[in-house]
Amino acid sequence: MKSRRKKSTDSDGDSSDERNEAIIEDVFAKYSRNGYMSRHQFFLVVSKLSKHVKELKGVENETVEAAFNLFSTGGQVMTLGEFKKWWSESDKFSYFVGKRSRMISKAYALYKKYSSVETLNTSTDNFKARRMTLKEFLKLLEDLKIEVENDGDEFDQIDQDGDGVLSFKEFCAWLKWF
């Protein structure tokens, strides 16, 4: 017979999981607009948290931008689900300090060097996001002296969503650094 772990509850009968979920949703609602959190809004969340979380004190903007790009929809906006995914990670602050932070920062610097910014239009807003085209990816491979049999096939395998460009998330999955 399986034993069931009882959830802790408060005086209103809410479990701690339900309270945590409500807190995450409240934070997201406070700092998002139209159901999406922009890069700037994510910076505000991290800035507010830095007053209470030692791992976030003095975090550099590049590191926050890299983390945002890693968890957001193609570096454009962060959905509630993506915010919850970041927030739910037990080591969410490791993206801002230590080895993981250094690796993300290096990966983002490399990505920025070989990608370009484009404006993406949605029904309500315009967002600027970094994208790496096949041409930029080939330049990266050439500069790093990486040879692959068929560059286009390699690019298509990395481009998980098939949109013809690499997001930072896809680029990091290819690097496999962290």
pLDDT tens track for 37-56:
998 999 999 999 999 998 89
pLDDT-based confidence at residue 150 (cuts at 50, 70, 90): confident
Tokens linked to 112: 């920025």
* CA–CA dist 7, 22 (Å, integer): 16
Position of tokens 């998980």?
160
Of the chain, the percentage scoring pLDDT greater than 70 comes to: 86
For residues 84 and 151, the model is more confident at 84
pTM: 0.79
pLDDT band of 5, cuts 50, 70, 90: very low
- Return the structure tokens found at 177: 């650094």
Instruction: Pick 16 or 137 by higher pLDDT.
Output: 137
Q: What's the pLDDT at 148?
A: 81
Domain ranges of the chain: 16-175
Q: Where are the beta strands (DSSP E) in the chain?
A: 116-121, 126-131
Q: Which residue has the higher pLDDT, 133 or 177?
A: 133
Gap between the Cα atoms of 80 and 86, Å rounded: 10
Closest CA to 45 of 90, 96, 91: 96
pLDDT tens digits along 45-91: 999 999 999 889 989 898 999 999 999 877 788 999 999 999 988 88
CB-based contact 24:84 (threshold 8 Å): yes
**Cα(84)–Cα(21) distance, rounded to whole angstroms?**
8
From 12, 10, 68, 71, select the one nearest 43 (Cα to Cα).
Answer: 68
Instruction: Report the alpha-carbon distance of residue 170 to residue 162 in Å, rounded.
Output: 11
